[in-house]
Structure 1
């Protein structure tokens, strides 16, 4: 039986402390410091309180230590779904050869399954990176969906801001020249669809949802920023986005990152990141407000249940790359 409400899937890109340091160009990232002992129990308790089961996109590199593995196992033990977020979390994945992409996906997939007991069937590229070769690799390995596209016109502005705030060299910036995508990403569909890969092969795309028409992001990072200025402003922005999704019959794929739910009070090493001056308690308060607003109009589900809903209700078109 079809759901009475449309769905809103919740997913979290489980980027670790070292990956934020790597993005910023900080020394010591290659020692792979981890905050999993702080973050994972914290987020799982928040999700339990809200009775939410979500999808965690895991980086393969984080499976290499037993300390990390202990916390990654907790995710599936507490009933959550896992997805593949690449092995090395490099946001220029779309520049890789087919063979290198295949290695990234396969090694991460195998490591995640070994640690969590669950084989990932969905993928999200770090930094919203994707390519035709990536989609072909995913299809060949039996993945059900990709979730790497962010339909917004703001990618170049986000990249400019990121470069300005980072400690990256010219060479590193050149390698990341397509980070967050081009202006043309804003023209992509917000509704899930099937990529036509040729020869009868397809894979489903579930985009991260942005505000219909305007294509402005409203995932939690943006709402935290607005909430720090004014909670009424944050609620107005969120309710406007939800209202436009309802008006256009757009199911919601809502994205979380670890730093959306913990502040500099718990991870002082990342205090330099935007929004880390906001306390963990305030961030959780904003998140709970968001979930209450979404759940009034949507059934809150994992990514695979989002896909099941779309397939059951025959909501998808086919698009050529």
Structure 2
């Protein structure tokens, strides 16, 4: 395939209210509160109005419940790929045993298929967590790509902020000791590549050279301070990606289109004070900006074309 513009992609991690509360250390997560009935149609409309085909990474525990299964069907019916986002969404998968990791993959895979979507071939670990064992298990199960790596140095800062703001027990702090990874993550490739396991890897893009985040939640945190700064920041990221020949992978979450009225329990989450209508309009601007500079595909198509030997973005950063 020959494109006038380099390839890029937009994906959604369908993280639910309970998964955010769980990571935050809030015991109310156990009741599994959900905003999927509100978030799903909004995301479907957003993608449709933006003319985007996306990949939606779904949590298995949600796909096993009615509103989650309905979400899977709605996204699949709209032509979006469904990816595997683990079963319990614990961002410390690298601490799991092999049997635990296998269960996380397999239970989610089965739940997505049971909900009516094609069998997933892509995986993204919660909180960008991954390991060599996880990659091997994915390869053994016929998965073709992983989208878990996050090449940035801010992991320790994000973890320190998390520990300051979350109400965690000593055991939970130990469990989260490697949350968001170390500063050495900044040395990971920015471009699609094949890992040692042979699995195709599509990193979540960070700003070239600076290796700082540009995903939706980070942009909205900037937007809450200054919309002008957020637009300048993203415009700079797009220009650097073009100059450095990095195809952009934009990661979004439902919270990027929702506000505190949609999810009062997530008032602690960055950007939730921004009205949903403003978020919607800003994220439409973000994706439209991407579409002016890239051919925006789904995650699976992005990595297929980026790893084509004729693609100018095929080599490892």
- TM-score band (shorter)? over 0.9
* Counterpart position of 2:272: 276
* Aligned 8 A contact 2:151 2:203 in 1: yes
* Aligned 8 A contact 1:195 1:318 in 2: no
* Counterpart position of 1:306: 302
Count of paired positions? 315
* Counterpart position of 1:115: 115
**Farther off after superposition, 247-256 or 227-236:** 227-236
Counterpart check, 1:210 vs 2:206:
yes
* Aligned 8 A contact 1:194 1:316 in 2: no
* Counterpart position of 2:223: 227
* Aligned 8 A contact 1:93 1:101 in 2: yes
* Counterpart position of 1:264: 260
Write the deviation string for residues 7-30 of structure 1: whole angstroms up to 9, x where unpaired. 111111101111011111112211
Call closer, same or farther: CA 1:188–1:307 in 2, change over 3 Å: same
* Aligned 8 A contact 2:189 2:316 in 1: no
**Farther off after superposition, 205-214 or 111-120:** 111-120
Find 2:235's aligned residue among 235, 239, 256: 239
Q: How does 1:11-50 map to 2 (within 5 A)?
A: 11-50=11-50
In structure 2, distance between residues paired with 1:241 and 1:311: 22
In structure 1, distance between residues paired with 2:292 and 2:276: 25
* Counterpart position of 2:65: 65
RMSD: 1.4
Listed as ranges, the gaps of 5+ residues in structure 2 are none
* Aligned 8 A contact 2:9 2:250 in 1: yes
In structure 2, distance between residues paired with 1:27 and 1:203: 36
**SS state at 2:195 partner:** strand
* Aligned 8 A contact 1:194 1:317 in 2: no
**Deviation at residue 68 of structure 1 after TM alignment:** 2.7
**SS state at 2:281 partner:** helix
**Deviation at residue 270 of structure 1 after TM alignment:** 1.6
**Deviation at residue 172 of structure 1 after TM alignment:** 0.3
In structure 1, distance between residues paired with 2:67 and 2:232: 41
* Counterpart position of 1:296: 292
* Aligned 8 A contact 2:12 2:252 in 1: yes
**SS state at 1:116 partner:** coil
* Aligned 8 A contact 2:193 2:307 in 1: no
Q: How does 1:245-256 map to 2 (within 5 A)?
A: 245-256=241-252
* Aligned 8 A contact 2:59 2:87 in 1: yes
Using structure 1 for the length normalisation, give the TM-score: 0.95
**SS state at 1:255 partner:** strand
Listed as ranges, the gaps of 5+ residues in structure 1 are none
**Deviation at residue 71 of structure 1 after TM alignment:** 2.5
Write the deviation string for residues 75-112 of structure 1: whole angstroms up to 9, x where unpaired. 10111111000011111101112222111111111111
Counterpart check, 1:104 vs 2:100:
no
In structure 1, distance between residues paired with 2:235 and 2:264: 32
Call closer, same or farther: CA 1:235–1:67 in 2, change over 3 Å: closer
In structure 2, distance between residues paired with 1:279 and 1:38: 15
In structure 1, distance between residues paired with 2:196 and 2:67: 41
Using structure 2 for the length normalisation, give the TM-score: 0.96
Write the deviation string for residues 137-190 of structure 1: whole angstroms up to 9, x where unpaired. 011111111111100000000011111111111110110110100010001110
